[in-house]
Amino acid sequence: MKKMLSILMLIFLLLPFTSAQCPESGNTIILKAPAVSRTSDGELIGIATDFIITVSPGTGHVYVETWPLAEVDMQASARLAAQIAGKVLGVDMSKYDVFIHVKSDAPIIGGPSAGGTMTVGIIAALKGWKIREDVMMTGMINPDGSIGPVGGILEKASAAYGVGAKLFLIPEGQRIQVVETTEKKQIGSIVEITSKSEKVDVVEYAKERWGLDVKEIKDIYDAVYYFTGKKIEKPPVPANLNVDTSFLKDNAVEDYDETIKYYEKIENKLNDSDISYTTYSYLKNALDEAKKKLDEAKKNLDDGRYYTALSLDFQARITIRHVDWYLDIKTGNDLENLLKSIDNEIKETENHVSNITIRGISMLQAVAASEERIEQAKSLLKDAWSNYYNGNYWNAVSSAAFAYERIQTAKFWASLGERYAKGEVIERDSLKETAREYLDNSRLIITYITSMFGELSLQDLISLMNEGEEYYLDGKYSAAIFSAMEARIQAEIILDTLGIDNETILMDKLQRMKEDARIAIAQAQKEGIYPVLSLSYYEFAQSYEKQGGLENIQTAMMFYQYAKETSTVFLGTTSPPKITEEPLISLIPNQTATPTNTTTEPLPETTRLSTPLMVSALVVGLILGFIAGRKS
């Protein structure tokens, strides 16, 4: 009896604490999302997960509780979901708190794949809308509101069917899944194991096996409609989608002319040198490769692809400078002095760029590109010093040439930013929070992919993320944002194209990304932003698309995504959109889905609606369950 009284006293002591952690008012939405869990033998299986989402007036916090714990933390994904919900509805989320309780029957890998579901739930809670119980979805939420790729779609479709879903929403472009199958055959004492890849059309497979409708969706607007029947008006697409890099024409022409002259000078210098036949042949081959790059640059220049021409000039100059400096370096002293001179140039450029006053988003993009290139030059120079100390002069000169040319591009982007300086001053510290959010979200997605599929040669992405963290610690927040963005986009492209070796499928994905990038650039221009970085990325993607081949297509996809997101990253919250209501689509003849939520009114900023203290009840229930368990 004394033990029971002690436990009851513990309950009453906990009640004030739990009450303080609960939303005192708000709308609560309950929906299900599929996730994947790992069995004891490492197999991935689909499980249904409950999301209880409450939004109430508050101060902009997002609280997440998972039970049991997820393998991948979903806090960053939840924060992004809240931001996108506010952006879509034109709502200031700093006036609300979001509480997300995730429950499942097994530890989930979770994380970003529920981002779309959380965003739908937050939007519905803000507006007091009902949610259909027979609809489920999987998909990451991206900063621009698009639904990003995920893994384990077949397992998740199975989980959706298992809890009665009639419609399963998946990210656009992911209906074709590649499944690895393993067969074991025993011949005497020898076990033969064979593996093969098989392409599965999820839409056809789910319909045939379970009668489950699977539909690809593009963005959060599509998702909200299928869950609620509400159509939120998208930002209008500008009529004129003019994408070109003519603003770089003069720079590209001048750069090409100077690089050609430099090539001719070093070609003559090599011919007049007294180096051995072997060294001469090696350096001559290097110059020949540089000339091929320059010929390619001229073709792009003539075709109006000015950023691509600049990039090819840059690649050619690295090689030419390597040959030039290698011919000059006679002693270790010569090399040491060269490295010191490059170090001074990097420091001078960094000092200049860090003191630039940023005016407007166009300038911000250019300065971010400059800062990122400065950091790359510093890293390359570090490699050069390392090779110098190890006595590897050839590689030292190679890294030094790369560092020198990279710092020249940093100067170029800084000058480009000053050319397009327009608008209000943007303080660098004001970007700190955005940089942290981008870094956290990118880290989450890379961790998610690793947890699903292993390392998958993600070291380059991890290094890119670590570079972003270093930029952040150095106070270079704009560079940190773009570094994190690049890492996340590369990770998503890996996930979206995993196992696909069909150019037609990849080209379909690429064309969607290309159009999205064009629209994003046009929207930025409509807002008065001239997205110099986005336009450059778009054109660069075109050059890879034109070449064809799986690897080039994937690279083009990556740069189209860069173009889209660099266009939209700093666009502010829009005004509240127009919302229309359409009849909910019946998925089963003569049957209407039963919507679920605890309130049906929009959540005003000034009115507080009374709701039960769910967490307090949960604590009491857990303790009473513990008592019952102890008795059995």
What six digits make up the tokens of 471?
């930029």
pLDDT of residue 582: 72
pLDDT of residue 45: 86
C-alpha span between 97 and 153 (Å, rounded): 31
Using one digit for the tens of pLDDT, what is the confidence trace for 360-387? Answer: 989 998 999 999 999 999 999 999 999 9
- Which of 32, 87, 156, 230 is catalytic? The answer is 156
Active site residue 411: no
Beta bridge partners of 231: 580
Higher-pLDDT residue of 581 and 151 is 151
pLDDT of residue 186: 66
Using one digit for the tens of pLDDT, what is the confidence trace for 335-364? Answer: 999 999 999 999 999 999 999 999 998 999
Q: Which of 248, 241, 231 is nearest to 584 (CA)?
A: 231
Active site residue 156: yes
Higher-pLDDT residue of 609 and 449 is 449
pTM reported for the whole predicted model: 0.81
Which residue's structure tokens are 């956290």?
440
- Which of 77, 104, 113, 370 is catalytic? The answer is 113
C-alpha span between 425 and 173 (Å, rounded): 40
Residue 591 three-state SS: strand
Which residue's structure tokens are 């209906």?
175
Residue 110 three-state SS: coil
- Across the range 576-605, mean pLDDT stands at 57
Which residue's structure tokens are 């949610």?
131
Quick check: 362 and 377 in contact, CB under 8 A?
no
**In sequence order, which residues have a C-beta less than 8 Å from that of residue 437 and are 6 or more positions away?**
76, 79, 80, 83
What six digits make up the tokens of 598?
């605890």
Helix axes 459-473, 477-497, angle to 10 degrees: 160
Residue 130 three-state SS: coil
Calculate the alpha carbon distances from 11 to 6, 318, 619 in Å: 9, 70, 8
Beta bridge partners of 38: 44
Beta bridge partners of 183: 194
Using one digit for the tens of pLDDT, what is the confidence trace for 74-88? Answer: 888 899 999 999 999
